[in-house]
Structure formats: C-alpha cells, structure tokens
Amino acid sequence: MGYLGTPIDTNNTFQSLAGKRFNGDASTTDFTLDVAPTSTLDIEVFVENVRQDPNSAYTLSGTTLAFAAAPGAGTNNIYVIHQAKAVGTISAGAGTVNADSMDNTVISGHDALAATPADTDEFLISDAGTIKRVDYSLIKTALTPAFCVRESGQQTLSHNTHTNLTFATEEVDSDGAFASNVFTVPSGQAGKYYIFAQLNLYDAEGNLSSGILNIWKGTNGTKLSSLYSVHANTNNTQNHLNISCAVIADLAEADVIGASATMTTDDSGTATSYGGDQGTRILGFKLAGV
C-alpha cells in the first residue's frame, strides 16, 4: 500500500530503550544503574508503578540513583527507563560526503601549527583523484645534503704548483659528509648539485701575478669548473688576488668533491691562501626538483 511522507529508513537503526529493576527494602536509598544518565530528566523512575518527580524524588551521581526517601519493600517494585538512550545511529553512505557537506571551519576551526611540521606529520593529497595521506618528510623541500667550509688559518702555496686547498672550519655540514678537505656524496643522495669555491691569495711582498682555481671530482686532475686570473704586475703592487668559480654538476653516490689552486709570483716565491669569514672556502648543496 502506498504512503505519503518521508520513506522508511531501512539503512540505520535506533537503540532500544534501556531499563533496570530493583527490589526495595524500605531502608536502601542508593541503587546502581548500568549507565550514567546526564541528568535526572534523562530517566523515568517508577516506584510501585508511580512515576517519581525528577526534580525532588531522586538525584544522580554517575551511575548512582539516590532516592530522597527509601522506597518500600517489594520485588521489582522499582524500575528505571533511560529515555535519553533512544537516539538514532546514523551513518553517512559511502561517497555521500562531498565539498557541499563541509564548512570552511573543518580546517579553519582548528589550531594552526606555528612551527615546521615534524617529518611524521601527515597531509591529505589527491593522487589522481584518490585521497591518500603522506608524511611531511616525503614532500618537504630541503636543499640537502649541504655543506659550507672555509680555511681557518693560512695555507702556503708554492709558485706554479698545483695544490689541493684545505678547509678546516665547517660552518654547515648537514649530513656529516665533509671530511679531510673533501665532500663525499652520501648514500641515496645522487643528483644535481650546486658547487661554489672561492680563493683569496695574499703575498706580503706584492709579487702575485696569476692564479687558477679549480673545483674537481675524484682527483684534482678531473676539473668540474676552473677560473684563471692574471695580473700585469709591474711595480710589485699585487698583494691580493681573489678568484671564485661555480658549477652545477651531476653527482653519483660516493663521488668526491674538492678544490685546488695554482698561483704564480714574479719572484717565484710563495703566497698564502688565507681564511676567515671572507677567505678561501667551498660550499655546495643538492638541488631540489630538478
């Protein structure tokens, strides 16, 4: 037979009314319920089939029902009905929660994270239309491994001699991959790297005439980048010579990177590669997204 109105919900169920009976003995006032009601108005209490006034006949404390006066003696002459338990259990159907079902406060209503997420913090993404969760460690942009090291004191260079440069002070070494004056590409970190080197030379007698700075891979004979500077020194006035070079290089695991230099002086004497904040250094980092 047809009917008017909302169709019967056959997908969701409602909880049955819960109740409990007690035996009065004319002296006991406290009885223990199976469920803790929220207030006295959430239950109906009957003694000898007479409903009790929720505002004065009894009180509640957790699961304890306390009568103002002890009910008379009898078998099952006290019974309690939990009215507030008659609530529906509604489950949203699969695929029925969409953008129209949500308010912006689903996100804006929660505390904002005021720091960089931890690597294990998770984000929701759409992977070709399928929602998935992903750890921050897999999506963060980090230009690492990274290193920046410099000469801490002074290194003496001989005239017209190809010499590996020394770097004793580490300012940055994110992966602990710089040691013994060279950077070694860590396991699992092959890729494109930006490498920069700077050479500052000094000769107290002003005899500097030329210098070559190299960034090398493997040995100082395999140059990735090289820059040459020459000065026409006519009056022994060339005390300082500064050279820098850079390269973007494809590096494999265990590749070794260092820097070397060759310099000449008019008197065939020595010169100094000097350190400090503006002195001889080498730095590099792995490029992200390339």
Residues 268, 155 within the same domain:
yes
Among 38, 63, 85, the domain-final residue is 85
Per the domain annotation, does 6 fall within a domain? no
Domain hosting residue 207, numbered range: 146-286
* pTM of the shown model: 0.59
Read off the pLDDT of residues 163-204 as tens digits, 9 standing for 90 and up: 999 999 999 999 999 999 999 999 999 999 999 999 999 999
b or e along 64-102 (b: 16 or more beta carbons within 10 Å of the residue's beta carbon)? ebebeeebeeeeebbebbbeebeeeeeeeeeeeeeeeee
Within its chain, how far is the Cα of 116 from the centroid?
Answer: 6
Per the domain annotation, does 49 fall within a domain? yes
Per the domain annotation, does 119 fall within a domain? no
Tokens 């003696």 belong to which residue? 73
CB 47 within 8 A of CB 24: yes
Taking the C-alpha atoms of residue 285 and residue 290, their distance in angstroms, rounded to an integer, is 13
Residues 150, 282 within the same domain:
yes
Residues 50, 181 within the same domain:
no
Structure tokens at 63: 């699961």
Counting the structural domains of the chain, the total is 2
Among 34, 66, 85, the domain-final residue is 85
Residues 162, 271 within the same domain:
yes
Angle ∠(225,244,262) on CA atoms, nearest 5: 70
In the structure, what pLDDT confidence band is assigned to residue 252 with cuts at 50, 70 and 90?
very high
Residues 172, 75 within the same domain:
no
Read off the pLDDT of residues 36-82 as tens digits, 9 standing for 90 and up: 888 999 999 999 999 999 999 999 999 999 999 999 999 999 999 98
Is it the case that residue 235 has pLDDT exceeding 70?
no
Taking the C-alpha atoms of residue 151 and residue 82, their distance in angstroms, rounded to an integer, is 81
